[in-house]
Structure 1
């Protein structure tokens, strides 16, 4: 048991993030759960799951592919068909009915994929080099498929897929989108100098490596507005076989994104990583910090980050997984449910919608 949060805790302070009012500064980070229908359609079980967690200041729904070739894992949601739109509309209605706000994270997996997961299409990337390690498929773990590098002529089409997905999401009633440029997926594969081996206008210099991300953000803003567009980055994070030595690309990227007036920047990093202060100084709008990859998200530690001005909001993953009413529990100083790791990926209601609330 912890002591109850003070009424004036910065974790509980309301805010406006771009066009979206939020009730508090505790956001639910995107968590892949592999519960969508086989064709990527979000279903009623997912609507229940997200509505249960509507107490978050903002829900960032799980990474969802903007195209078939962008799918990395089995049973992840899509954002590119009429059926997907209808599924997301049910989720938006459920979350809004429970008083919450929700955006969807648009995640093109790039080379973190396999033909068994994306309908038999060769994955695309910034490179022809496959990622090390294996990926889970319907037939068990397999090596990542060898991707083909996108041609410069193909890049605008991929950019349009993000913009079209963003338009679909907002048409479905969601509050906006988060562009996923982190964790080793497609946009991060262009940013990372240890992965991007291109010699054209999308490789080499920091500005060139940031180019597809800036173009994607600009197209998304044109589709749905800057006030409904956020972005996630993870500077230097090695997840999914990412290798980065030139982190100046993030200062270049964030400076250009700032000119687009995006609603928020979501950074995965340790709070004392020097890149956090550098990016915080550049970014003019809501700055969201996610420290959960390096350490458990501790309530009092996160409160101090907000009180000290390190961030404007914090994104929390695993604690929300097992505690649908996490903010209420933190407010009251109540004990937390422990997550069942065996039910994280795939399955039904067990370990998904059956965690008890207070």
Structure 2
């Protein structure tokens, strides 16, 4: 049954669920609000995200994934169960097949944790696919020809860079510098320069509304409210786009360094293809204003933003779900889309 095939982009910042035959049916933050005294789950997803930084001591709004991998197994299991129940595909008589996306450098132990969380949430079979491969397919790249395609997927916890050809990864790198590190860098900058303490939601809004990857790209400003670290009193500070660009410079340089290292290890023929086609940016972090321009200037290669960068991985899993039956007939051999059933 189509409803029994599910693709899940289990991201550090957001979870997207693709159900075969229905498309993307869920896109919510990877956040769970719990009563720490009883272990009771109070809210999941968008509702829980609104509680971050605003809860009493006995309630915590937590993100169970960190840097692209599971940091809190039990909470991740509860989160998956909640989302699968919400979209109506988890029933006691029906255990779905799941295609799970993981960063390209995920270890066997980390994959096992993801597999176990999926199985305990109700999966009958669990398949693993690397995120850059799913992102490339979701972005519309034809990765199955003998031609080089380069993708940079900037999520919440990791940035995955990969060159693909003939349906598989040729060279790749995955670093734990992505959207969360951008937020942390901005928080540190505000504390250092303006002596202002702010929360996660504030810096994310600042990054989205006036942020830029290069100074001079935007001439906007925004009033930011927080707590003065010296007086301890509430304070409002005006922050400019150039200040945000300055704050984000270091983590962006690390992303560019990872992309450069992949290009340096790419075979010459594939490098020539990349120069012709350009590099595709996907992931929520890729939406930072001017980031495509900065990558292009630093790498001397055309860089374009995917049509739907935040949903590219989920859309890629949807296309790959069509190959599950063929994958089963191959009895676990790497074929076609290049993904595999998990083997502990």
TM-score by length of 2: 0.27
The structure number with the bigger radius of gyration is 2
| TM-score normalised per structure 1 | 0.26
- Larger helix fraction of residues: 2
